[in-house]
Structure formats: structure tokens, C-alpha cells
Amino acid sequence: MDRMTRFLQSRMEGVSARLHSPVRSTRLVVVLGRLLGPAFLICFGTGIFSHYLQEPGDATFFLTRPVWIYQLTQGIHITVGIAAIPLLLAKLWTVYPELLKWPPIKNVWHALERASIALFVSASLIELTIGLINTYKWYPWPFPFRQTHYWLAWIIVGSLALHIAVKLPLIVEHWRKRPEHAGAPRPAGRWSRRGFLAAVGLGSVALVVTTAGQSFAWLAPFNIFAPRKMGTGPQSIPVNRTASEARVEKLAADPLWALHINFRDQLAAYTLEQLKAMPLSEHNLPIACVEGWSQYANWRGVPIRNLIALVGAPADSLLKITSLEPDGGYRIMTMPAAYTEDEQTLVALQLNGETLDMDHGYPARIIAPGRPGVLQTKWLKSVEVLG
Ligand SMILES: Nc1nc2c(c(=O)[nH]1)N[C@H]1C(S)=C(S)[C@@H](COP(=O)(O)O)O[C@H]1N2
Ligand SMILES: [Mo]
């Protein structure tokens, strides 16, 4: 047994020694951490914002101005998350020889440190992977994406805080370049530290430039990798779920379609002709999908506050909005008062001066300022005033 331990120990030390490279210095690990830490915190903050817009708590407040607020926060969320992938991989590559050190556990403190890192690394890898896959509208797992992504985020910030606390002495020591290192001869090896960092940084920047065009119009010409391209799709706007995917084509094309509205015992129904004859407003608002892509358009329709006023409901009402869609996660949506009372929230009938395309929600859809795309319900059936 003793020989076995010694044998294992010498093997591990051999591997560690061979893996030693100037790239694997503490200073480099700290430099990468200085980039990764803020990236994770930015993703966490923007992610929490998005989560609570979709699943409001009692304390949630809703911002409707600037109208591009969600486009900005979610664009940052996806872009920074993508940039973090090469950084995290680089950091793992620089530290993995540590995992082979012997003995694997020295004492209770050391065991805790390793457990927190193991948790942090595995949660981060899963988080970034499912997030990236989700931007391609691909959900190949049996669990609900948003809840999983949300809980992993808490695990990540918790274990990250622990990790930073444990490593604080090293972080402080290596935060700034030490003068005795500054003048030292360049370390020999296949990779210099600076070259490695430059390559990783360049990789991150290149990835951002070639994907962020789905969220930020000025980068759109460089969008190579992102799944959605601006200006594509019916009426030059991307579509998330088409009418045929939602199996709503027949119901939406029904000439007898009418929008049903009810408030207490007041019931009303308006045909498309009647809606078109009402005073219409036009606003330039973005659709900003949680998956990162977004695009502005001119929407024309009836302000929803005017519509519910017809059945006597106050402007600051909570609404339950139902789609013609027979099933699907986005069939029913609740609209908090902050959006209902906003004059820019429309039951939209037109997009960029034309009748809504079937895929964009014909005969009528919701468009509200500052709201996640998933709550911009298409193919409206009814609006119910809840209170
Ligand atoms: N009824 C219904 N409305 C819906 C959806 C849906 O699946 N069903 N998808 C939502 C999502 S996720 C987005 S991003 C926007 C996209 O709008 P667009 O397809 O017109 O671009 O519609 C939203 N409205
Ligand atoms: Mo979306």
C-alpha cells in the first residue's frame, strides 16, 4: 500500500513537472480571473433582471424607458457570456495541473477550497454551455432552461465568492505586476505568458465581434456566428416561432376573428375592421428576444390602455392576455400595470407600414416598450382585465 502511494505520488509529480510552463503562472491566473470575475457579475446582474421581468416577485419594478432597456441588458448578457467562454477555458487550462497535485486533500480547509472550486467550475461550464445552446433555440434537455440557468447562477456567485475569499492573499499579491518580474528575462517555453493572454483576448474579441451583431445594429455586418441575422425573415424581421410551428394558421386567418375583451361583467369583441377604424398610434420599438437577437420596427396599432377603457377598465390594470395558439409556453401572458398604462404599448396591427405577416402575429399582437421578446404575445385571442 505504501509503495503504491509512493508510486502514485511520483507519477503525479512527474506529470506536474512536465506540465509546468510559464503560461501557468499565478500572475496569469489572476489576470484571467480579473476579466472573468466582472464578466460573471455582469451576466449575473443582467440575468437576474431578465428573470424577474419574466417571473415577477412582489418587489419587481418594471422599466418601460428607455424603450431599449431590455435590448441593452439582454444583448450585454449574451455577448459577455459568449466572451467568457474562451476566458474560462483559458483559465482552466492554466490551472489544471493543480488538480493533479499530491496529496489531493491536505486538511479540512483544503478540502473545502477544492470542493468550492469543483462546484464553481462544473456549474460555470454547464451554465455557459446551456446558455450558448439556448441562443441557437435548441433545448435538447428535459429540464426547464430558465429555472436551471437561474439556480446555477446563484451557485456560481456563491462558490465564486468563496473562491475569491480563499484566494485573496494570492490575488492581492499578484494583482499588479511586481517590479522584480517586470524586468525579468522572458520565460522560455512554447508560449510566453503575454502571447497566451493576447491569443485568448483576441479569441474573445473575435467571438464578440462575429456574434454581437445579432443584438447591436452597428455590429450587424460582422455577424457570422450568431443564429439570427438582422433584416432576415418575413417583413425583414427574424421570427422566433412561426405560425405553422404554433399551429395557429387556420385560427389566425379566420375572417370571423375578433379580439375579446372583458372586465368584470363587461364583455366586448372587436373585429379587425373595427380595430383598424379606431385611432391608431405608431411607435418605433424593438423586439428583444431572451436569446440575444433584437431588432427595431415601426409598429402601428391601438394603445392597449384605450382598448380596455372601452369596457371601463382603468389604465393601470393588470391584464391576462391569451393567444390563439392551442398550446405552447407563451400562450398566456400577464401584463403588469406599468406596461398597460404606457401609451406606447400597442395591440399592433401593422409592422413597418404593412399588415402584420402571419408569422409576426396576424391579425394582432402585443408590442410593449422594454419587455422581453417572449412576452410580446402574437396571434391575440383575448384580453382579460384582472384588476
Ligand atoms: N403566441 C406566441 N407569441 C410569441 C411567441 C410564441 O411562441 N407564441 N414567441 C415570442 C418570442 S420568444 C419572441 S422573441 C417574439 C418574436 O417575435 P417575432 O417572431 O415577430 O419576431 O415573439 C413572442 N411572441
Ligand atoms: Mo424570444
pLDDT in tens, 84-132: 999 999 999 988 888 777 788 888 888 888 888 899 999 999 999 999 9
Percent of the chain with pLDDT over 70: 92
From 11-20, 92-101, 233-242, 350-359, the region with the lowest mean pLDDT: 11-20
Instruction: Indicate whether 38 pLDDT > 90.
Output: yes
Give the residue-averaged pLDDT of 308-329. 96
How many whole angstroms separate alpha carbon 23 and alpha carbon 21?
5
Per-residue confidence (pLDDT) for residue 45, from 0 to 100: 98
pLDDT of res. 49: 97
C-alpha cell at 126: 454547464
R_g (Cα) of the chain, nearest Å: 26
**Listed range (157-171, 292-306, 314-328) with the worst mean pLDDT:** 157-171
Q: Which atom of ligand 1 is nearest to the CA of 239?
A: 19
> In this predicted structure, what is the pLDDT of residue 387?
84
| Distance from C-alpha of 384 to C-alpha of 35, rounded to nearest angstrom | 47
Which of the listed residues 137, 242, 330 should we mutate to test ligand 1's pocket, taking the one with most ligand atoms within 8 A of CB? 330
Angle at 214 between CA 209 and CA 218, to 5 degrees: 60
Burial class for 29, CB neighbours closer than 10 Å (0-12, 13-18, 19+): buried
Given a cut of 90, whether residue 1 has pLDDT beyond it is no
pLDDT tens profile 221-233: 888 888 777 877 8
Q: Which helix (H) or strand (E) holds 354?
A: strand 354-355
**Closest atom of ligand 1 to CA, residue 241:** 7
Over 70: is that where the pLDDT of 309 sits? yes
Instruction: Say what the pLDDT of residue 14 is.
Output: 62
Ligand 1 centroid to residue 377 C-alpha, Å: 6
DSSP one-letter code for 357: P
**Atom 12 (ligand 1) nearest CA:** 374
Please state the atom number of ligand 1 nearest to the C-alpha of residue 293.
14
Give the binding-site residues of ligand 1, using a 6 Å CB cut-off. Answer: 237-241, 246, 287, 289, 323, 325, 328, 330, 360-361, 373-374, 376-379
Which residue has the least CA distance to atom 18 on ligand 1?
239
Percent of the chain with pLDDT over 90: 64
Q: Kindly indicate the confidence band of residue 136, based on its pLDDT and cuts at 50, 70 and 90.
A: confident
Tell me the H-state helices in the chain.
Answer: 2-19, 26-54, 69-99, 108-135, 145-174, 179-182, 193-211, 249-253, 272-276, 304-309, 337-340
Give the three cell numbers for residue 59: 418587489
Nearest Cα residue to atom 4 of ligand 1 = 377
Q: Which ligand is nearest to the CA of 238?
A: 1
Higher confidence at residue 223 or residue 360?
A: 360
**5, pLDDT greater than 90:** no
Nearest CA to ligand 1 atom 24: 377
Atom of ligand 1 nearest to the CA of 242: 19
3-state secondary structure of 199: helix
